Each structure stands twice: as structure tokens, then as C-alpha cells.
């Protein structure tokens, strides 16, 4: 196992192995996306209170989950890079930031679309909504910071520190509905008792969550491969690959 991770830290090995995973990830993404959309939009019944408007949760909830997952993943990788100076960790962090910001933006927009018929307004300064908005600013702040610093190593250290400082916002997002009086709906997926989400709604929701996560890994590997080529463009293996 340790030998595998040691080899994975090699830019050339990462480039080769990631290229083999991407087609499988894309196929799995399309399969789970089609199944999730069909079950969520066609098979799942209307909600007894919200009617068909609840179906936006099949995009909103997985996007919100991904916004937190990606930032947490970035924080772990930033810590690895700061401690062990592994270049590929920083490559993955940089490649993840735009995707994380996109998922956060989707979560906020779809949440507003959901909130209008449910709450009668597009936006309230609800604890969860506000902390999710802060997460978007953290993503954008990281992107702006690393883009503004020319030296890659300096940018990686500065960006890594920012990500690690901001990771404290993740538990605030997750537990905000429990810590404060909030309009936002509480957890229904992880609740063991009633009321909980019905199985006909749970299955497509989980399929969409898997689909979004697989999409993230497929795209982040594509972006990371491009970043690796850019950083290693003067190395022998890149020149050999492209006949330079």
C-alpha cells in the first residue's frame, strides 16, 4: 500500500494511472446520473407537503454535500503538502478549487430556487445559508490568492494555510441546523427514526450523490493531468511523450 502511494506521488506515474481511471469514471458518472434522474424525476412520488418542487433536492443536496467534501479533501491535501512537500497534493488542491466553488454556487442557487416556494423568499440570512456563502468566498479567495502569486511553491504554502484556516467552517455548515434556530430543513437522510426520507426518494438522492462525486473525481483527474503536464513540461518524460 505504501509503495503504491509512493509511486502515485510520481508525476509520470500519476499521469499514466489517472488516464486509465478517467474513462471508467466517466462511464460510471453517466450511468448513475441517468438512473438518479429517472428515479428522482419520474419514479419518486410527489411530496405530500411540497409537491413536485421538492425534486430540486436531487441536485441541491448532492451539490451541498460535494461543496463540503471537496473543501475537506483540499484541507487534507494542503496539510500533506505543507508537511511533506508533495507536489501532487498541491496539484490536486488547485485542480479541486474551481470544482468546489462550482458545486457551492449550484447549492446556493438551487437552495434559493427551493426556498422561494417553501419560505416565500429567495434568501434569508439563515445560519446554514450564510455559512455556505462563506464557503464560496473561501473557495474564491483561495483561487484568487494562488493566481496572484507567481511562484508555485509560495502560492501552494499561502493557499494551503488559507484552506486549513477555513476548514473550521465545515462543521459550522453541517451542524448549523442543530446549533441555531434555523429555517433550513434538518437532517432526514441520516435519521433512524421518523420522520425520515422515504426509500423511493432516498435511492435516487444517493445515486445523484454518487454521480456528483464520481463526476468530481473524473474532472479533477483531467484537470490535474493538465496541471502536471504544465509543471513538468521541461522534464524528460514529458518531452519523450510528446516528441520534444
Print pLDDT tens along the chain (244 aa). 455 555 667 899 999 999 999 999 999 999 999 999 999 999 999 988 888 889 999 999 999 999 999 999 999 999 999 999 999 999 999 999 999 999 999 999 999 998 888 778 888 888 899 999 999 999 999 999 999 999 999 999 999 999 999 999 999 999 887 776 665 565 556 554 555 788 999 999 999 999 999 999 999 999 999 999 999 999 999 988 887 6
Compute the distance between CA of residue 215 and CA of residue 229 in angstroms, rounded to an integer: 22
Determine the Cα angle at 186 with ends 180 and 188, to 5°: 160
- How far is residue 218's CA from residue 222's CA, in Å, rounded to a whole number? 6
Grid coordinates representing 177?
441546523
pTM (2 d.p.) = 0.92
The DSSP secondary-structure symbol of 85 reads -
Element at 223 (helix H, strand E)? helix 199-231
Q: For residues 210-234, b (16+ Cβ closer than 10 Å) or e, as one string?
A: bbbbbbbbbbbbbbbbebbeebbee
Amino acid at each position: 500500500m505504501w509503495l503504491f502511494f509512493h509511486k502515485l506521488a510520481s508525476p509520470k506515474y500519476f499521469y499514466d494511472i489517472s488516464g486509465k481511471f478517467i474513462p471508467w469514471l466517466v462511464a460510471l458518472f453517466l450511468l448513475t446520473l441517468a438512473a438518479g434522474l429517472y428515479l428522482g424525476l419520474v419514479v419518486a412520488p410527489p411530496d405530500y407537503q411540497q409537491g413536485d418542487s421538492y425534486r430540486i433536492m436531487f441536485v441541491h443536496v448532492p451539490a451541498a454535500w460535494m461543496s463540503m467534501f471537496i473543501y475537506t479533501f483540499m484541507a487534507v491535501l494542503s496539510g500533506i503538502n505543507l508537511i511533506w512537500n508533495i507536489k501532487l497534493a498541491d496539484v490536486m488542491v488547485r485542480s479541486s478549487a474551481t470544482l468546489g466553488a462550482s458545486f457551492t454556487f449550484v447549492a446556493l442557487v438551487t437552495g434559493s430556487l427551493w426556498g422561494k416556494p417553501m419560505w416565500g423568499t429567495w434568501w434569508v440570512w439563515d445560519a446554514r445559508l450564510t455559512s455556505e456563502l462563506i464557503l464560496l468566498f473561501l473557495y474564491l479567495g483561495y483561487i484568487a490568492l494562488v493566481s496572484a502569486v507567481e511562484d508555485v511553491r509560495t502560492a501552494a504554502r499561502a493557499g494551503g494555510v488559507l484552506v486549513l484556516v477555513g476548514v473550521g467552517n465545515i462543521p459550522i455548515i453541517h451542524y448549523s441546523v442543530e446549533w441555531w434556530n434555523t429555517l433550513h430543513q434538518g437532517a432526514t437522510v441520516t435519521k433512524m427514526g421518523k420522520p425520515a426520507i422515504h426509500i423511493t426518494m432516498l435511492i435516487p438522492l444517493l445515486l445523484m450523490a454518487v454521480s456528483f462525486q464520481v463526476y468530481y473525481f473524473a474532472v479533477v483527474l483531467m484537470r490535474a493531468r493538465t496541471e502536471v503536464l504544465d509543471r513538468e513540461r521541461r522534464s524528460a518524460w514529458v518531452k519523450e511523450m510528446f516528441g520534444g
